[in-house]
Amino acid sequence: MATTEKISVAMGRDELRLAKLAAEQEGVSLSAFVTGAVRARIAERRRFAAARHVIATFEPEDFPTDAEQHALLVSWAPAATPPRRPRRRKR
């Protein structure tokens, strides 16, 4: 079981409103939504670090063309997850 820690985070009112709306639309708590966003950002940073590591091994003549670069970026992009249906609230 994962250990959690309660923290305090400050964010703008608009961002908080949008985050709450997005969490509701995905059928998760605000905490789960924020945790997912943090995990996604960390994963993105790791992907970019891995890409930089690979690129550093290329010889100048081995660099991909613009079209090949675009194709690589598209293939490496995270797959979009469809939004979850909102949970029905108990009455």
Residue-wise pLDDT tens digits, 44-59: 999 999 999 998 898 8
Does residue 83 surpass a pLDDT of 70? no
Average pLDDT over residues 26-48: 96
- Tell which residue, 54, 79, 49, has the closest CA to residue 64: 54
Per-residue pLDDT of 5-22, as tens digits, reads 999 999 999 999 999 999
Identify the helix (H) or strand (E) that includes residue 25: helix 13-26
Banded model confidence at residue 88, pLDDT cuts 50, 70, 90 = low
CB 44 within 8 A of CB 77: no
Distances, alpha carbon 55 to alpha carbons 5, 22, 45, in Å: 37, 36, 15
Query: How confident is the model at residue 89, as a pLDDT?
Result: 61
Q: Count CA atoms within 13 Å of residue 25 on its CB side.
A: 9
Q: What is the pTM of this model?
A: 0.62
